[in-house]
Amino acid sequence: MLRGEVDISLGRWNFVPAGVKSRVIVEEHLVMAVPASHRLASQEDVRLAELAGEPFVALPPHEGSVLGDRLRRLSLGAGFDPDIVQRAPDSWTAMAPVGAEVGCSLTVSSVAENVTDPHVHFLRVRDKTLPVYLRMAWRQASDNPALGLVLALAEQVWPGPADAV
């Protein structure tokens, strides 16, 4: 985005760089996907400490990865280093190995609301953490004439002020 290759982007970022404006589209909370056969699957929520020693399915590590960062911070705060046994390219794909009993996976509430696999159960994460925001972001200095029209439409669909960043 900063190189001018895209005009608008949707993503989950903890920080938005200088020169980029954004609007929060959805505020989500963290959930832990566990196999239906997991010892905690009948619970409604979980603390990360309850998953110490469990195998995890995680997204690939890369700078700015919100879920990877949250998994690392929450598990280290709970006194353990997560045992990542498999990587998945995205949150949706990660649900297949969870359902196949490979491990647990930290994800966001929209995934839990849309996955219907009976082999996967979702537990709300009770550990204190910030919400995860899905943002629409654009370069403040963009000269694309369509940008204003898209932003006006977005304001109708998702009313509210642009973020302060």
Residue 125 is predicted with a pLDDT of: 97
Give all strands of the β-sheet with 30-35 in edge-to-edge order.
Answer: 45-46, 120-125, 30-35, 105-108
Q: For residue 1, tell me if it sits in a domain.
A: no
51 and 118 assigned to the same domain: yes
If asked whether residues 14 and 75 sit together in one domain, one would say no
Looking up tokens 């997204």 gives: 59
Query: For residue 119, what is the domain's CATH number?
Result: 3.40.190.10
Name the pTM for this structure.
0.85
Asked if residue 65 and residue 46 are part of one domain, the reply reads: yes
List the domain range (segments joined by +) for residue 13.
8-26+136-157
CA distance 122 to 111: 9
Q: Are residues 16 and 34 in the same domain?
A: no
What the block records as the tokens of 13 is 């970022």
Q: Tokens standing for 164?
A: 């302060």
Predicted confidence at residue 75, as pLDDT, reads 96
Residues 56 and 83 sit within 8 Å (Cβ to Cβ): yes
Report pLDDT for 128.
92
Query: What pLDDT is recorded for position 113?
Result: 96
pLDDT in the model for residue 31: 97
User: Could you state, in chain order, the average pLDDT of each consecutive group of 10 residues for the chain (165 residues)?
Assistant: 77 86 91 98 97 96 85 95 96 96 97 96 95 90 88 84 55
d(CA 130, CA 69): 12
Burial (0-12, 13-18, 19+ Cβ within 10 Å), 62: exposed
Are 47 and 88 found together in one domain?
A: yes
Q: Do 78 and 117 lie in a common domain?
A: yes
In whole angstroms, how far apart are CA 3 and each of 86, 138, 141?
A: 33, 11, 11
Structural domains counted in the chain: 2
On whether both 19 and 83 belong to a single domain, the answer is no
| Total residue count of the chain as it appears in this document | 165
- Predicted local confidence at residue 119, as pLDDT: 98
Q: Within a domain: residue 163?
A: no
Half-sphere exposure of 89 (CA within 13 A, CB side): 0
